[in-house]
Chains A and B, each alone.
Chain A
Amino acid sequence: MKIVTRKKVIVISIFLSLLLCLVILFSITLGSVKVKPLRSIAIFFQSILGLKGVGTETERAIILSLRVPRALLAGLVGAGLSVSGAIFQALLRNPLADPYILGVSSGAAVGAIISILMGLSTFSIGLPLASFIGALLTIAIVFKFGRQDGKIHPNTLLLAGVIIGSFLSALIMFFISISQKEELHTIIFWLMGDFSFSNYEAIRMILPYIFFGFFFLYLRARHLNLILSGEEGALQMGVDVERLKLISYLFASLITAASVSVCGLIGFVGLIVPHSVRLIFGPDHRLLLPSAALIGASFLIASDTFARTLLAPIELPVGVITAAFGGPFFIYLLRTRKVVKTL
């Protein structure tokens, strides 16, 4: 029967988690430096168990300090963007919404660019921190102007977000036009999304936002379903709609801010993953949120793996891959929607 039960959520989550593990293992076996697949996996498991032995010093460094953190970070960001995209689509009652629609990304970009221009980006934590602060300021400003009489009206919020986003885009273009050549390269790569600076520091920095953000949003998954068929109806059923919208806005924005601060603006994931998951598993948030998180994580890890291996040693921006593969796949899902839905 087409209803979401606890059992169904658990079974599907376990299945998707296994898939995610496979994708992670696959990702750490590939790279511009050849390390044999089985050896890569052996190194990975050894380090988890705290053992040493297999692999040279270089091989271990490549696997453990480059590929593993990169895969984990891509997974976190993929999960974060997918979940916040799903939430924004529900909150704004707009299927075209994505995590960047309310200007959080532009705020993050302004922060990041300022830090690059000031030379802060050489400190590992400088750029993410500046970009996170830029995003937080934007969240606060959009929230201030996006409400009327203390209430969130989806359309007002959307307008405020889009307008503030456009203003920030103007700032971004201004900064780009005054920046030097070397800075320009860093800026452009950041704007297109880039995992090449991944490290455990960044993972530690964003993990709490994404983990707790997901947790608090998931507690309200059932109520999110109710507002999809009208706020008044949800209110009549006993849902505290204003609180729900406030929490959705804040946590989805925080997740977005944390995600973009470590890797720049990776497009498309937050739009396409929630929709694809809806087409496969239905729109119920109790199943949608965990599935979107797990599928989003797998999708972004896989995309990033392609981005760094396709033309190795040249690295493509991961945004190119997410759009190039995600777009056609999404169209395919849309076309075969009826078939998918009967599953």
Chain B
Amino acid sequence: MIEVHSISFRYHRDWVLQDVSFQVGKGEFIGVIGPNGSGKTTLLKILTRLLSPQQGEVLFELIPLKKMSRTDIAKRIAVVSQEAYALFPFSVIEIVLMGRSPYLGHLMFENERDLEIAKRAMEWTDLLSLSERSIDELSGGERKRVFIARALAQEPEVILLDEPTANLDIHHQIEFLDLILSLNRERGLTIIMATHDMNIASEFCDRLILFREGKIYKTGVPREVITKETIETVYGCDVWVDQNPISGMPRISLLRKETHEIETMGRDRISTK
């Protein structure tokens, strides 16, 4: 569905992304991980053509992204950015209706059909009971859901999420990601999610793309990507990787310096046995 062909991008002198290629199939749930500054956000911006790569190209269903108009892109690829706010207190339904903008062109007002689509998006995200509430009265988790609903109102095939779980407590993280997963599994939406939380990426994503300094370091199913060696090389810190006892997916534990020493001692003991 999305093909990225050896793209490179730089803002000024240094390359932020270098020779990046990958493909995303319809209905996949992709996690994009990597340290700060490794190019995740830049990649997402390129996928919506907020930025254009200096080299290489991005194809959406075989059509080069740069040949599509912005509204065409917005009808197929929706973005939920880190910031979920509105300067003045718009109501939930008003925000969700804004997702119809790519379909309105120069029209000033939404019609009945737009309203129906917005309501369906709110139903999927369980927002109908909040529809008249103003955005500034909602919790962080609810607000995130509003912007997911706005993205859904665009009737896209792909949703890009940039750090969707930042600033959410674990309850809201899980609630939010379960929602995303259900949209992925039941509505067939393709999801590309950039995140710092590797445990979440491991639990929810079908496939991970790990970035390091603007290049793809490793890609594959979570079990292939999230290994002790890979993570330690890419992030330059010590971690312990085992399995989530319930799901069996790789699980990362962070180690303090002292625990790291204990851990090496432990490993020495195991190896001497």
Contacts and interface: CB of A to CB of B under 8 A. Distances in A.
Is chain B found bound to chain A in the same assembly?
Answer: yes
Interface of A: 1-6, 90, 93, 95, 219, 221-223, 225-226, 228-230, 232-233, 235-239, 278, 282-284, 286, 341
Given A2-B93, A233-B79, A238-B102, A341 B108 contact: no
A341 B134 contact: yes
Q: Number of contact residues on B: which range applies?
A: 35 or more
The residue in B99, B108, B154 that gathers the most chain A C-beta atoms within 10 A of its C-beta is B108
Interface stretch (B24-32, B67-75, B190-198): B67-75
25 contacts: A3-B94, A3-B115, A4-B94, A5-B109, A6-B108, A95-B87, A222-B101, A223-B101, A225-B90, A230-B81, A232-B50, A232-B79, A232-B81, A233-B81, A235-B50, A236-B48, A236-B74, A237-B70, A237-B74, A237-B154, A238-B73, A238-B74, A284-B90, A286-B109, A341-B134
The 6 closest A-B pairs by CB, nearest first: A283-B88, A238-B71, A238-B70, A229-B86, A228-B87, A237-B101
Interface string B83-104: 1111111110111011101101
B108 to A, nearest CB: 6
Nearest to A2: B91
A343 to B, nearest CB: 12
B132 interface: yes
Contact of B91 (A3, A221, A223, A226): A3
Contacts of A284: 90, 94
Nearest to B104: A222
B94 A222 contact: no
Contact of A2 (B94, B102, B104): B94
Interface of B: 45, 48, 50, 69-71, 73-74, 78-79, 81, 83-91, 93-95, 97-99, 101-102, 104, 106, 108-110, 115, 131-132, 134, 154
A230 B85 contact: yes
Nearest to A237: B101
A219 B99 CA distance: 19
B109 A225 contact: no
Contacts of A2: 91, 93-94, 131-132
Nearest to B97: A3
Contacts of B98: 225-226, 229, 237
A195 to B, nearest CB: 31
B102 A228 contact: no
A256 to B, nearest CB: 21
A2 B154 CA distance: 20
B94 to A, nearest CB: 6
Given A2-B94, A236-B48, A286-B109, 5 more contacts: A1-B132, A95-B88, A236-B78, A237-B71, A238-B101
A2 to B, nearest CB: 4
Contacts of B109: 4-6, 222, 286
A223 B102 CA distance: 11
